[in-house]
Amino acid sequence: MVEFLVGAMFVLIPLFLAIVALGKLSDVQSTATMAARYAAWERTVWYPGGGDFDSINAPNQKSADAIGKEIAVRLLNDRSGLQIKDTDKNATTLENGTDPLWRDNEGKAYLDNYNQLASNLGNEAPATDVAGAVINTLKNVSVKGLVGFVPPLPTDTLAVAQYTLNDVGKNSDAYRRLWPGDNGWQGMSFNATGAILSNTWGANARGGTNDMVKRMVPTAQGLGAVVQTARAGLAPWDPTQPSRIEVGKIAVDVLPDDRLK
């Protein structure tokens, strides 16, 4: 009985507490991974702003800071009864409290400071980018009277996000007792990286896509009269074909209405 009590006090009880702690900390790492993936996905559908691209896609902007604040509310807060709101991108505190799982056995929250959250989000050009090279070449081609043959397509189509949770559980007295000593418990930091390679200019809806495609259609930029004249000149030789020429027509591929029922 004495041996059992001594073993339970110094081995079994700390071991059981440590198992629970490791399970909770594993959930922190899993959430950090989810946060990095969320941030990378958001960057494929929202743009950081800047450059000629804004002239067409200004409504589709969201800063890296706003995405990081959304993560704090939607992934790190207590999600019981959570409602996703547009104002999430303005949050500056863990207003709903942290995830209930992220507490030590004495109820001390792992995160007690909003500044423990950090994210780094950006876009990169793939190492091998044939399409980007072609687009950059065509951008140097100009014709009098035209804005240009190529719309301001971004070629940095690799969205990369890094998310960090710093000093998790650092102020936990319970964990200090589990890991004593001068170099004992100092808290933990969790890092995760998410990356998505995608067509990052395709999320600007029908109107934005239509405006961008116009930049690749010279007859939609004022050269329609030239084609009209050429069409009239072809009529004596082939009266059926010129009428089929649709000058400057841009047809966005959309789902037919009968498929939406």
Question: Does pLDDT of 149 surpass 60?
Answer: no
Domain ranges of the chain: 2-201, 218-256
- Whole-angstrom CA distances from 221 to 143, 146, 218, 231, 243 are 11, 6, 5, 18, 21
- Whole-angstrom CA distances from 215 to 55, 58, 218, 248 are 12, 17, 7, 11
Other C-beta atoms lying within 10 Å of the C-beta of residue 39: 27
Question: Does pLDDT of 96 surpass 70?
Answer: yes
Question: Does pLDDT of 146 surpass 60?
Answer: no
More confident residue, 1 or 211: 1
Question: Does pLDDT of 59 surpass 60?
Answer: yes
Q: Structure pTM?
A: 0.70
Question: Does pLDDT of 24 surpass 80?
Answer: yes
Q: Give residue-wise pLDDT tens across range 156-195.
A: 678 899 999 999 999 888 888 877 777 788 889 999 999 9
Q: Give residue-wise pLDDT tens across range 190-199.
A: 999 999 887 6
